[in-house]
Amino acid sequence: MQPAPLSDRRPYIRDSEDARRAALVAAVLDLVAEGGVEAATLRAVAARAGVTPGLIRHYFGDKDGLMRAAYGQMMAAMVNPCLAAAEAAGADPVARLRAYLAAALDPAALDGRTVALWAAYIHRTRQDAALRAAHEAGYLAFRDALEVLIAALPLCPLRPRVAAIALNALLDGLWLEGGLLPQGFIPGEVQRIALTAAARLLDVPELPETEGPRS
């Protein structure tokens, strides 16, 4: 196995434990995004993070433990901005739902790198129970929060759980296509599609649209 190229190495660093853990997680995600799971060898991760390989075992037990921690952090980074957006929208239930949906398909969320990471990890969830649990936790955190937002609406023709599952599936599809083929959509288009579909599905007043040119 060849060592990482010198250009990919960071100087070995002395830092806090939290900073070292964060550097290792960031290194894993960078390497997986660049070359798939196979590229994230212990030697490559340590070199990219600027630490010794022994620190990976010290902090995470083994490579699998580090991979699971990185995946969990990636999932949290996808969910937390949506939760924050809903909280910042105030008390109106329609405004909170709109903010949540819009944040899920914000240009920052339609990131090809994140889609590539998700795709690289997802097939491993079938063999790795811990990765599958991390995926389930992220999915349920997003869906359950969406269900709570829907349940707060004055009226809804669907049970909140059913509506949340349906809207989550719509968001997943738009996120995948918007992240993989950004050039195939007008700026703001995927958000407008999600908001319009949500308004129809939930029978709420038309959700305000995001700005951007129309076709």
Final residue of a structural domain among 41, 61, 81: 61
Kindly state whether residues 44 and 135 are assigned to the same domain: no
Final residue of a structural domain among 16, 40, 61: 61
Kindly state whether residues 74 and 37 are assigned to the same domain: no
pLDDT of the residue at 38: 87
pLDDT of the residue at 209: 52
Please state the rounded mean pLDDT for residues 79-93: 96
Q: Which amino acid is at 130?
A: A
Kindly state whether residues 93 and 56 are assigned to the same domain: no
Q: How confident is the model at residue 4 (pLDDT cuts 50, 70, 90)?
A: very low
49 within 8 A of 24, measured Cβ to Cβ:
yes
User: Residue 25 domain-assigned?
Assistant: yes
Kindly state whether residues 88 and 57 are assigned to the same domain: no
Task: List the structure tokens of 97.
Answer: 């739902």
pLDDT of the residue at 90: 95
167 within 8 A of 105, measured Cβ to Cβ:
no
Kindly state whether residues 54 and 75 are assigned to the same domain: no
Please state the rounded mean pLDDT for residues 160-166: 95
Please state the rounded mean pLDDT for residues 79-98: 95
User: Residue 210 domain-assigned?
Assistant: no
Q: Who has greater pLDDT, 130 or 99?
A: 99
Kindly state whether residues 20 and 121 are assigned to the same domain: no
Q: What angle do CA 123, 128, 132 make, to 5 degrees?
A: 75
**How far apart are the C-alpha atoms of 30 and 138, rounded to whole Å?**
20
Of 55-59, 120-124, 170-174, the least confident: 120-124
Number of structural domains found in the chain: 2
Final residue of a structural domain among 19, 39, 61: 61
| Spatial CA neighbour of 200 closest among 73, 122, 88, 101 | 101
17: domain range? 6-61
Q: What angle do CA 90, 92, 97 make, to 5 degrees?
A: 90
137 within 8 A of 72, measured Cβ to Cβ:
yes
Kindly state whether residues 56 and 148 are assigned to the same domain: no
Task: List the structure tokens of 69.
Answer: 């921690």
58 within 8 A of 19, measured Cβ to Cβ:
no
pLDDT of the residue at 15: 60
| Spatial CA neighbour of 37 closest among 4, 77, 78, 68 | 68
DSSP state of 209: P
- CATH code, domain carrying 123: 1.10.357.10
Q: pLDDT tens across 23-78, in order? A: 999 999 999 989 888 898 999 999 999 888 888 999 998 888 999 999 999 999 99
- CATH code, domain carrying 38: 1.10.10
